[in-house]
Structure 1
Amino acid sequence: MTRQALAPTTHDRGITTLTLDSPANRNALSASLVGELSRSLERCGKDASVRAVVLAHNGNTFSAGADLKSPASPYAFVALLRQIAELPKPVIARVDGHARAGGLGLLAACDMAFATIASDFAFSEVRIGVAPALISIPLLPRLDPRAASRYFLTGEVFAGPRAQEIGLLTETAPDVDAVLTPVLDALRRASPQGLAETKRLLTAEMRNAFDRDAEDLVQRSAALFASAEAREGVTAHLERRDPAWLL
């Protein structure tokens, strides 16, 4: 029997929590996880009792990015990012640990993202020979341009407070729930129509970017992952060795 990649859904006074639950591969974006998350979000979007969705995680990693052994198709992943942006309910990420690569795309697609101060982040694509192509759609409207250039190009790890400073996160705190709880209480006081229409205003630029750029970026991402340089980078990563291009 195939293990589910999401924990059982919980619901508390209008707030539904979807929990990534594949700690063995650090909640990597496998075909199964992307598919399960998409189906759960679809149900939340249709459920009148859901006022907002929290995207949480089990284990010490929110998401390590693409599952290099059993990846979701680029079309499925970009569809998931778009689904989060278009969902008529706010989606809030809760992070207590690490997030890498495609996992940061999930954070950026969410309407808000909260994390512990000790959490850390990195755009690691450049270090395996690819680029943060698909996730650039939700990320670039949120990030400080100079910070995006630095962290996209270097793959450096940065901590929670820096992630908040550059626009990746909404807020950080030693205890993430201390800052998340009052936000969820405030969302419970908002009308469903008010939330849906306000979110449409806030995500207009991102949704336009999906319309304009998604197909080109899917093709670009697929070509990069099929390249010889990426094959070397992925192999080196899986074998825990330096890639051939290291100076």
Structure 2
Amino acid sequence: MSREGQRTNAEKPRTNAGEPRTRLVGTAHDRGVATLTLDSPANRNALSAPLVAELADALTACGKDPAVRAVVLTHTGGTFSAGADLKAPPGPYAFVDLLRQVVELPKPVVGVVDGHARAGGLGLLGACDVVLASEDSDFALTEVRIGVAPAVISLTLLPRLEPRAAARYYLTGERFGTAEALAMGLVTAPLADRERILDGLRQGSPQGLREAKRLVTAKVLDTFEREAEELVQLSASLFASAEAREGMTAFLERRDPMWRL
């Protein structure tokens, strides 16, 4: 996938040693649309603590910039996001805050998938207002296969997904394609519609877009108010369990977990 925009050395954050490091989230602007690109392909754009923090900062900047009418969230490499980084995961509250930030951003957020999306990556897509996917993209909620459940990401997914489809893919962890994602409400439209949708957003007034988004996200935000704390606690207890330790170890060691029949 081609990157949108170029980054200079001056734009690169510095490590404690003073050496520049590559950003995990690229930024570019084009006629009122800011594009934020998850750019950690070596670990399939896994949601590490640094990536989540950098994405949150980029979204804050977009929210404050009067020149930004809408935000596109996309990726480098063949994976939008593989879900939580098991080696350097964000805290559950940090991830909840990120999901809520996307939902509450006073500007439309368009998720773009051209490849794979897994687990927590689907939660991030669920927070977006519009999701576009290429014909050969695929998705999976794989949490049950490592001994946990899609707890925190239910905040953005369950209010949007068709219930029977949610039950199937939550419980089986099986992979599904763009056609199924469209039918269940995870994906809005094919990637081919990208320019038409962005042109439509460019025609909206800032106030109109802000208030229209407020209407369509109200039920999702209600879910945050009612259930966020409970789901954070559930997630923490599951990840601390013996089954999850076995599941994550098996995943990292590329072997079957002990419960696999």
| TM-score (normalised: structure 1) | 0.97
Matched, 1:223 2:242: no
Q: Give 1:182's aligned amino acid.
A: R
Which of 119, 129, 132 does residue 150 from structure 2 map onto?
Answer: 132
Question: The residue matched to 2:62 in structure 1 has which SS?
Answer: helix
2: CA distance, partners of 1:5 / 1:151: 29
> Residues 8-28 of structure 1: CA distance to partner in whole angstroms, max 9, x if unpaired?
x10000000000000000000
Choose from 208, 231, 245 the match for 1:194. 208
Matching of residue 74 in structure 1 with residue 92 in structure 2? yes
Alignment of 1:1-247 (within 5 A): 1=15, 2-7=21-26, 9-172=27-190, 176=191, 178-247=192-261
Query: Equivalents in 1 of 2:260, 2:180: separation in Å?
Result: 27
The alpha carbon displacement at 1:3 in A equals 3.3
In structure 1, C-alpha distance between the alignment counterparts of 2:199 and 2:162, rounded to whole Å = 29
Deviations 1:115-145 (A, max 9, x none): 0010000000000000000000110111110
Query: After TM superposition, where is structure 1 displaced by more than 3 Å over at least 4 residues in a row?
Result: none
Q: Distance in 2 between matches of 1:127 and 1:5?
A: 28
In 1, distance between residues paired with 2:225 and 2:24? 29
| SS class of match (2:174) | coil
Q: Secondary structure at the match of 1:77?
A: helix
1:19 alignment partner, SS class: strand
Identity among equivalent positions (%) equals 66
Shift of 1:58: 0.2
Q: Give the aligned residue type for 1:120.
A: D
Q: Could you tell me which amino acid in structure 2 is paired with residue 67 of structure 1?
A: D
- Distance, in Å, in 1 between the alignment partners of 2:36 and 2:23 is 12
How far off its partner does 1:171 sit? 1.1
After TM superposition, the score normalised by the length of structure 2 is 0.92
Which amino acid in structure 1 is aligned with residue 236 of structure 2?
Answer: A
Give the aligned partner of residue 7 of structure 2: none
* Stretches of structure 2 lacking an aligned partner (at least 5 in a row): 1-14, 16-20
Give the total of aligned pairs.
242
User: How far apart are residue 6 of structure 1 and its match?
Assistant: 1.0
Deviation track 1:189-242 (CA, whole Å, cap 9, x = no partner) reads: 100000000100000011111111111111110110000000000000000000
**What does the per-residue CA deviation read over 1:45-77, in whole Å, with 9 as the maximum and x for residues that have no partner?**
011100000001000000000000000110000
Identify unmatched segments of 5+ residues in structure 1: none
Secondary structure of the residue aligned to 1:24 is: helix
3-state DSSP of counterpart to 1:203: helix
Deviation at 1:80, TM superposition (A): 0.3
Distance (Å, rounded) in 2 between the aligned partners of 1:185 and 1:144: 28
Shift of 1:4: 2.0
- For 1:164 and 1:27, locate their aligned partners in 2 and report how far apart those are by CA, in whole Å: 23
